[in-house]
Structure 1
């Protein structure tokens, strides 16, 4: 049975300002829906395990569509996947063919230096599986290394939430760092699309999306890659 592991942040608040954050729901639900549509079993994990907070802004207005409401109103999704996510110690990389790092600004505080999750992703890709990430979730790749100790991102084509998108959000001065800048520093060949338009970059078994609106397309690219 093919299985995917969705990883989300445990961080509920910006470190330097009084602003709530967490997982941006669409980034998990839209990817999860694609997995379900293709009969792929999904588990959820986080850097410390347990509760995954949601950015309150993602639950408002046009940020929620039918897919988001379907998951949000599902008791198992809320009480198991979000409230009792797996910790890195509970994960066996050999059980999964896909690991997907979902975004939300909280991820930049607990993804980039998380070595246990990085090792899990490294093992999955070494086994011939897929490492996928979306938006700020792509910062999880900063903790990954190749066998010779180099940044996993070196010379890799990828994308993430861009400097332009952070500026349009008005968050440039509030966030920990700019994901685009950090990934470029780590040797990435950064591919930028239009702000808030779906943009997916495939580099062999690495699949990345630019923003929340890219989550479905990341899932579809994962399925296409699995079928090769």
Structure 2
């Protein structure tokens, strides 16, 4: 019998975790395999209904066992010959709180064959589901991660580039004022390159003078070293360097996916939306498909003389990935919010994007 099991400890009491199980409308926020659950009554043993995975039709669902504050067992009929049996148990954690354990099994005569194709997806999804549930039950995510490019040269021009400092500083100010713990990360780690540094600007000056931010800027972790755990907002800053490295960073794409699927907000501004171009969700759906977004426009690219220097048009690339791209007048603030995906057109939009991300939590 094919199975996968994962356990995570949370500071939440069993009753707090159980509340997420019993409220099936919350499942889609912490279980990446669920778009909707509908039951014929309260969450109890014997209840039946349907479970609808993202991008698929409803599947028959039955609650086999349900013991408040202890756990439940459910069965989802994938086909006549194979079902998904999910066992969720709650137990006291050694250091207090609750240990959440989820075990998923494939049962039925076709289970071995089904596992060959879909086992790896399930094996990857179960840990993410348990960790997302533990985070939501234990405490609201209170971390904002700002991503910076590591690319420092404008093509073969010899001119320098990097992350646009005003976007980083303004996002930091909004998040810090909101009580979020701000962390900086870059594609390759180390000290990231910066552009448009203006120490006469009060927000930039305050950011650069902040001891914690100065320490982080000196040695940022790479995207490969950062976890989505407890990340309320992932904010991707722009700067022209972004179009040279963000789309090709597989670790960043995974981080964007994990934050989004754990219920966090993904925000980006100016050239920052380049980080979204190659993001695919766990169900195989491109993150951008059908989503309303904005980003640095073709008019703006022409106005700054970069059309023939950048490796591609960000606006065109977003549209080519199935996004519903729209822009406002050149260099005017413009923000687009589509659920927990927030994008801004240009540096003038950075503060508004950060505030919209807070609102989207």
Does TM, normalized by the shorter one, top 0.5? yes
Q: 2:197 aligns with which of 51, 54, 59?
A: 59
Instruction: Quote the Cα distance in structure 1 between the aligned partners of 2:357 and 2:327.
Output: 20
**Over aligned residues, Cα RMSD in angstroms?**
1.4
- After superposition, residues 1-228 of structure 1 pair within 5 angstroms as 2-55=142-195, 58-60=196-198, 65-78=201-214, 80-226=215-361
**Secondary structure of 1:103's aligned partner:** coil
Q: Is the 8 A contact 1:53 1:82 kept in 2?
A: no
Task: Quote how far apart the aligned CAs of 1:16 are.
Answer: 2.3
Write 1 or 2 for the structure with the bigger share of strand: 2
Q: Which residue of the partner structure matches residue 42 of structure 2?
A: none
Deviation by residue 1:153-180 (Cα, 9 ceiling, x = unmatched): 1111000000000111011111111100
Q: Is the 8 A contact 2:172 2:207 kept in 1?
A: no
**Secondary structure of 2:327's aligned partner:** coil
Instruction: Tell me which moved more, 9-18 or 126-135.
Output: 9-18
Task: Quote how far apart the aligned CAs of 1:60 are.
Answer: 4.7
Q: Is the 8 A contact 2:224 2:252 kept in 1?
A: no
Instruction: Quote the Cα distance in structure 2 between the aligned partners of 1:60 and 1:27.
Output: 12
Q: Is the 8 A contact 1:134 1:208 kept in 2?
A: yes
Q: Is the 8 A contact 2:290 2:322 kept in 1?
A: yes
Provide TM-score, normalisation by structure 2: 0.59
Deviation by residue 1:21-51 (Cα, 9 ceiling, x = unmatched): 0011011000110001111101011111111
Provide TM-score, normalisation by structure 1: 0.92
Task: Quote how far apart the aligned CAs of 1:181 are.
Answer: 0.8
Instruction: Quote the Cα distance in structure 1 between the aligned partners of 2:153 and 2:209.
Output: 24
Instruction: Quote the Cα distance in structure 2 between the aligned partners of 1:99 and 1:223.
Output: 11
Instruction: Quote the Cα distance in structure 1 between the aligned partners of 2:261 and 2:165.
Output: 29
Structure 1: any 5+ residue segments left out of the alignment? none
Task: Quote how far apart the aligned CAs of 1:70 are.
Answer: 1.2
**Secondary structure of 1:5's aligned partner:** strand
**Secondary structure of 1:121's aligned partner:** helix
Instruction: Quote the Cα distance in structure 2 between the aligned partners of 1:75 and 1:21.
Output: 24
Task: Quote how far apart the aligned CAs of 1:185 are.
Answer: 0.7
Hey, which bits of structure 1, 4+ residues long, moved more than 6 A?
Answer: none
Deviation by residue 1:176-227 (Cα, 9 ceiling, x = unmatched): 111001111111100111111110000001000000010100111011112x
**Secondary structure of 1:175's aligned partner:** coil
Higher relative contact order (CA 8 A, sep 6+): 1
